[in-house]
């Protein structure tokens, strides 16, 4: 089992943790959880090696394209790159590195701090020290990184001076994340071009590895030590952020997670869709959703309630399986809420059906709060067809002074594979007349859509609604 000292607590709604948890622990939400698995080869190296290094040439461009669809308004490319590095290491059989989120993307280039192989030992010591690593840690971190991949002749013609058939001189004879690079260095069989290359000036690994008389390299000859040290140091490397940035606690698979909530007017009531994701432990659970009114009285004192209408199983990502989570159960709800009294908050009662007492899942006592019902996304009035999708939102009690926009994160529209944001303006929806106290507004969906936050100003009050997914079970 996996010992977790302190994991990030998910207080719904939390778009950052919500997105990161999906991307880490569900297999098909983001390419970062799948592409690098099985140490898949690419460009005569591996996807994993390209993700872990990410700083020059074809490996960097291909990696950024892999990562392009994963950032949104809350999760930056820097977090995606860090998730990529963690998946790269486990994807090649290496240790699990805890993931913390919350990095802030830089909007301009920083100082050129990537160490280069022709630099001398003193420069390398200084640049690692500037990032918080001492000399022993520098040796280990370079050995950990150079477990994967190799040097590309096209990028470093002065390092790879002899022709290699593949164009890449690998650091070790195995492709996986292991300490072969250390063992081959120690026993003199290494072909690491940064150790034995004919260009003596660029033998940076040799200068670094031997800088303490091989003491550190000898300690890494134990596979367990290698994995432990690499997990710790690569984790620290990924978590090196400016002092103004606070990272989350490590994100572990959440026991209970609310997702896919949608509230919208439908035939004289409010449809409320929600799904509770529970880690599958083999129990045949039943789950009831409860809710309370926003105004007035409609529900009994214990709350209105409804059982789930479907329970489905969703596989967990490979990273989740390494944390003993094999699958999730998705308990989905489709409630008809009284239009006049509406909904203020909801919670769940879970029955394990194993003789133990049912228990409540209520956002750690805080309830799952619906903070407003004035601005809603309407998935049934929206339509999604290739080449012509439209979003429809409903606004309650509209006035003449209403303005609805969506801030949409889209994937790269420029030559650089990064995300950008566009603002869409909604217009009164001629094909959906007012109904159930809501007036409808519509806008085409940008075809590079990744996620949306809808904003509305109604009678001078601002509302916003995060719409990561345009569908949900029950739509």
Nearest residue (CB) to ligand HEM, 120 versus 371: 120
Determine the Cα–Cα distance for residues 281 and 1; give it in Å rounded to an integer.
14
Q: Which of 29, 32, 49, 289 binds ligand HEM (CB under 6 A)?
A: 49
Q: Answer whether the bond into residue 13 is a cis peptide, omega within 30°.
A: yes
Nearest residue (CB) to ligand HEM, 197 versus 394: 197
Nearest CA to 83 out of 259, 244, 247, 260 is that of: 247
By CB under 6 A, the residues from 318 to 357 that bind ligand HEM are none
Q: Which of 152, 257, 285, 331 binds ligand HEM (CB under 6 A)?
A: 152
Q: Which residues pair with 151 in a beta bridge?
A: 169
Pairing of strands 438-444, 368-369: unpaired
Both structure tokens of 419: 């995300």
Q: Which of 19, 23, 45, 179 binds ligand HEM (CB under 6 A)?
A: 45
Nearest residue (CB) to ligand HEM, 55 versus 371: 55
Mark residues 193-232: x for contact with ligand HEM by CB under 6 A, - for none: -----------x---x------------------------
DSSP 417-469: ---EEEEEE-EE-TTS--BTTEEEEEEEPPTTEEEEEEEEEETTEEEEEEES-
Determine the Cα–Cα distance for residues 386 and 355; give it in Å rounded to an integer.
49
Nearest CA to 347 out of 338, 360, 333 is that of: 360
Both structure tokens of 218: 């000898």
**Binding of ligand HEM by 144 (CB under 6 A):** yes
CB 392 within 8 A of CB 428: no
Q: How many residues belong to the chain?
A: 475
**Binding of ligand HEM by 156 (CB under 6 A):** yes
CB of 181 to ligand HEM, least distance (A): 10
CB of 121 to ligand HEM, least distance (A): 9
By CB under 6 A, the residues from 107 to 136 that bind ligand HEM are 115-117, 124
Beta carbons within 8 Å of 458's beta carbon, 6+ residues apart = 374, 375, 395, 396, 397, 398, 399, 401, 402
Q: Which of 33, 50, 140, 192 binds ligand HEM (CB under 6 A)?
A: 50
Determine the Cα–Cα distance for residues 375 and 395; give it in Å rounded to an integer.
5
CB of 152 to ligand HEM, least distance (A): 3
Nearest residue (CB) to ligand HEM, 142 versus 325: 142
**Binding of ligand HEM by 140 (CB under 6 A):** no
**Binding of ligand HEM by 256 (CB under 6 A):** no
Helical ranges in 204-331 per DSSP H: 204-209, 215-219, 223-238, 318-321
Q: Applying CB under 6 A, which part among 154-162, 215-223, 259-267, 290-298 lies near ligand HEM?
A: 154-162
Determine the Cα–Cα distance for residues 124 and 211; give it in Å rounded to an integer.
11
Q: Which of 13, 27, 57, 303 binds ligand HEM (CB under 6 A)?
A: 57
Binding site for ligand HEM (CB under 6 A): 45, 49-50, 52-53, 56-57, 59, 115-117, 124, 141-142, 144-146, 148-152, 155-156, 159, 204, 208, 234, 237
């Amino acid at each position: 089992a996996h010992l977790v000292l302190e994991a990030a607590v998910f207080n719904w709604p939390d778009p950052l943790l919500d997105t990161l948890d999906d991307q880490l622990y569900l297999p098909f939400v983001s390419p970062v959880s799948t592409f690098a698995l099985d140490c898949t080869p690419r460009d005569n190296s591996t996807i994993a090696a390209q993700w872990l290094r990410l700083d020059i040439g074809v490996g960097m461009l291909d990696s950024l394209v892999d990562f392009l669809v994963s950032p949104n308004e809350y999760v930056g490319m820097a977090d995606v790159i860090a998730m990529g590095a963690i998946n790269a290491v486990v994807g090649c059989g290496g240790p699990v590195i805890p993931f913390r989120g919350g990095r802030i993307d830089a909007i301009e280039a920083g100082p050129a701090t990537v160490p280069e192989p022709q630099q001398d030992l003193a420069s390398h010591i200084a640049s690692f020290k500037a990032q918080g690593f001492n000399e022993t840690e520098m040796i280990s971190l370079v050995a950990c990184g150079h477990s994967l991949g190799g040097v590309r002749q096209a990028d470093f013609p002065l390092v790879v001076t002899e022709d290699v058939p593949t164009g890449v001189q690998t650091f070790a004879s195995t492709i996986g994340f292991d300490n072969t690079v250390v063992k081959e260095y120690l026993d003199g069989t290494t072909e690491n071009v940064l150790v034995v290359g004919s260009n003596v000036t660029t033998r940076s690994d040799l200068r670094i590895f031997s800088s303490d008389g091989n003491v550190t390299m000898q300690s890494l000859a134990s596979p367990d030590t290698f994995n432990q040290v690499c997990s710790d140091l690569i984790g620290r490397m990924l978590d090196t952020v400016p002092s103004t940035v606070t990272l989350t606690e490590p994100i572990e698979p959440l026991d209970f997670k609310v997702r896919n909530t949608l509230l919208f007017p439908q035939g004289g009531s409010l449809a409320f869709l929600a799904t509770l994701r529970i880690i599958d432990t083999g129990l045949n659970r039943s789950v009831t959703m409860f809710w309370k009114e926003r105004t007035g009285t409609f529900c009994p004192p214990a709350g209105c309630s409804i059982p789930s209408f479907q329970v489905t199983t969703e596989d967990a990502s490979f990273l989740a399986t390494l944390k003993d989570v094999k699958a999730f159960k998705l308990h989905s709800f489709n409630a008809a809420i009284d239009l006049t009294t509406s909904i203020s908050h909801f919670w769940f009662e879970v029955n394990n059906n194993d003789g133990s007492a049912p228990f409540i899942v209520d956002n750690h006592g805080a309830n799952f709060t619906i903070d407003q019902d004035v601005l809603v996304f309407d998935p049934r009035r929206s339509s999604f067809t290739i080449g012509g999708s439209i979003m429809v939102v409903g606004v309650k009690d509209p006035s003449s002074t209403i303005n609805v926009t969506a801030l949409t994160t889209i994937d790269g529209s420029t030559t650089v594979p990064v995300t950008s944001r566009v603002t869409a303006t909604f217009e009164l929806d001629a094909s959906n007349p007012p109904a159930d106290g809501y007036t409808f507004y519509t806008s085409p969906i940008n075809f590079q859509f990744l996620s949306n936050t809808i904003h509305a100003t109604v009678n001078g009050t601002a509302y916003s609604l995060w719409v990561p997914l345009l569908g949900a079970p029950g739509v």
